[in-house]
Amino acid sequence: MLLNPIEVVPAEEVGPVHFIAAGGSGMSGIARLYAELGIKTSGSDQSDSTALRGLQRAGVTTYVGHDAAQVGDARTVVISSAIRAENVELVEARRRGLRIWHRSAALAALMQGKRGISVAGTHGKTTTTAMTAVMLSEAGRDPSYVIGGPLSTTGASSAVGSGEAFVVEADESDASFLQYPTEVAVITNVEADHLVNWGTPEAYADGFRAFATRPHVQHVVINVDDAGSRALAAELVGETPHIIRYGEAEDADVRITDVRAHGNGVAATITYGEDSGEIVLQVPGNHNLANASAAYAVGRVLGLSHDEAVDALGRFEGTLRRFQLITDTAGIRVFDDYAHHPTEIRAALTAARRATSAGNEATGLSGRLIACFQPHLYSRTIDFADEFGEVMTLADIAVINDICGAREDPVPGVTGELVVDAARRHGQENLVYVKEKYDLPAALNEIAEPGDLIITLGCGDVTIVGPLLADLLKQRPDAR
CB 30 within 8 A of CB 19: yes
Q: Is 121 labelled as part of a ligand binding site?
A: yes
Number of CB atoms found within 10 A of residue 478's CB: 10
CA distance 433 to 130: 34
pLDDT of residue 362: 47
113-313: in CATH 3.40.1190.10: yes
Answer yes or no: is pLDDT of 175 > 50: yes
CA distance 240 to 174: 23
CA distance 188 to 245: 10
Residues 345-367: b if buried by 16+ CB within 10 A, e if exposed: bbbbbbbbbbbbeebbeeeeeeb
What is the tens place of the pLDDT at every residue in 400-435? Answer: 999 998 878 899 999 999 999 999 999 999 999 999
CB 101 within 8 A of CB 76: yes
Answer yes or no: is pLDDT of 353 > 50: yes
pTM: 0.77
Answer yes or no: is pLDDT of 48 > 70: yes
Answer yes or no: is pLDDT of 358 > 80: no
pLDDT of residue 130: 94
Answer yes or no: is pLDDT of 268 > 50: yes
Beta bridge partner(s), residue 432: 399
Q: Is 124 labelled as part of a ligand binding site?
A: yes
Mean pLDDT of 51-58: 91
Angle at CA of residue 378, ends 338 and 447, nearest 5°: 55
Q: Please provide the DSSP assignment of 388-407 as one string.
A: HHHHGGGSSEEEEEPPB-TT
Catalytic residue set: 125-126, 169
Q: Is 271 labelled as part of a ligand binding site?
A: no
CB 454 within 8 A of CB 335: yes
CB 351 within 8 A of CB 291: no
SS3 328: strand
The architecture CATH gives domain 324-473 = Alpha-Beta Complex (3.90)
Residues 6+ apart with CB under 8 A from 37: 11, 12, 110, 160
201-205: list long-range contacts, CB under 8 Å, 24+ apart.
204/172, 205/231, 205/232
Q: Is 97 labelled as part of a ligand binding site?
A: no
- Top pLDDT among 395 and 150 is at 395
The architecture CATH gives domain 11-102 = 3-Layer(aba) Sandwich (3.40)
Q: Is 122 labelled as part of a ligand binding site?
A: yes
Q: Please provide the DSSP assignment of 117-163 as one string.
A: EEEE-SS-HHHHHHHHHHHHHHTT---EEE-SS-BTTTS-SEE--SS
Q: What is the rounded (10 degree) CA torsion for 248, 189, 107, 149?
A: -70
Q: What are the boundaries of each domain within the chain?
A: 11-102, 113-313, 324-473
Q: How far is CA 347 from CA 7, 59, 389, in A?
A: 38, 38, 15
